[in-house]
Structure 1
Amino acid sequence: MSEKQANENIYDRFAQVMKQTRELVANMEQLQAQITKVLEQNAELSIENDHLRKAIKKMKDQSGEAKLSGSRQNLKELYQQGFHVCSEYFGKRLAPGESCAFCTDVIFGHDPDKAK
């Protein structure tokens, strides 16, 4: 192989490596743009998620349901199904349209654990 052919071969290889490098850089730029877009969407969704959580918490606080303990929630559900939950008449059926002040006091009344 002559020196001229060796030089041309080196230049051909160099041109090929340069072409591959340009393609690689173009691919990396595309990936960077896609990553930037995904990160922006993620930030927007995180902010929106925080706002929604605050709104849900505010709605729960306003309705008062979030303030009931799990056991009081269960008593409330039993009462809504038509059963007394007070110690006086516990387990007895409420008459249609009947309400019981004792039951509502048990469900929504003063919580001695919170006073501590």
Structure 2
Amino acid sequence: MSQQDPFTDFQRLATEADQLARDLTAFRQELNRVLEQNAELIIENKHLRGRLDQLSEQNEQSDKPEMLPSRRNLEKLYDAGYHICNMMYGARRENNEPCAFCTNIIYGNGDRTSRQA
């Protein structure tokens, strides 16, 4: 700064400060717009991932052979943690361990000869 004209120096600094304030305001507005857009994209991404999971689950179910309603009910009981085989029927499965007899009843080939005794 020159010592000869302090008023001119003051005017120049005031003009620069005003410009800086305008630039900061514009930057704040742009930052808010970007943050809002980011929040919207996060929400949209969450919804799309949920829909993708639904579609993949439907595809997995459609890949399975069609089950009779009675077998679906047995599958629900088995998934809830209970035995459905005739040896342990109704007993709770320890730590949800798989049971070969139960899974054979649900997913077996459906012939009655393997279950008749």
Provide TM-score, normalisation by structure 2. Answer: 0.51
Match of 1:60 in 2: 63
Match of 1:42 in 2: 45
AA aligned opposite 1:16:
Q
**1:83-105, Cα deviation, whole Å (9 max, x unpaired):** xxxxxxxxxxxxxxxxxxxxxxx
**1:10-36, Cα deviation, whole Å (9 max, x unpaired):** 011011001001100100100111111
AA aligned opposite 1:38:
L
Taking the TM superposition and a 5 Å limit, the aligned residue runs for 1:37-116 are: 37-63=40-66
Q: Please report how far the alpha carbon of residue 63 of structure 1 lies from its aligned counterpart in structure 2 after TM superposition.
A: 4.0
Match of 1:24 in 2: 27
Match of 1:8 in 2: 11
CA distance in 2, matches of 1:40, 1:46: 10
CA distance in 1, matches of 2:45, 2:6: 58
Identity score, percent: 9
Identify unmatched segments of 5+ residues in structure 1: 65-108, 110-116
Aligned length: 65
CA distance in 1, matches of 2:66, 2:41: 37
CA distance in 1, matches of 2:23, 2:38: 22
**1:9-65, Cα deviation, whole Å (9 max, x unpaired):** 10110110010011001001001111111111111000110011111111211349x
CA distance in 2, matches of 1:58, 1:43: 23
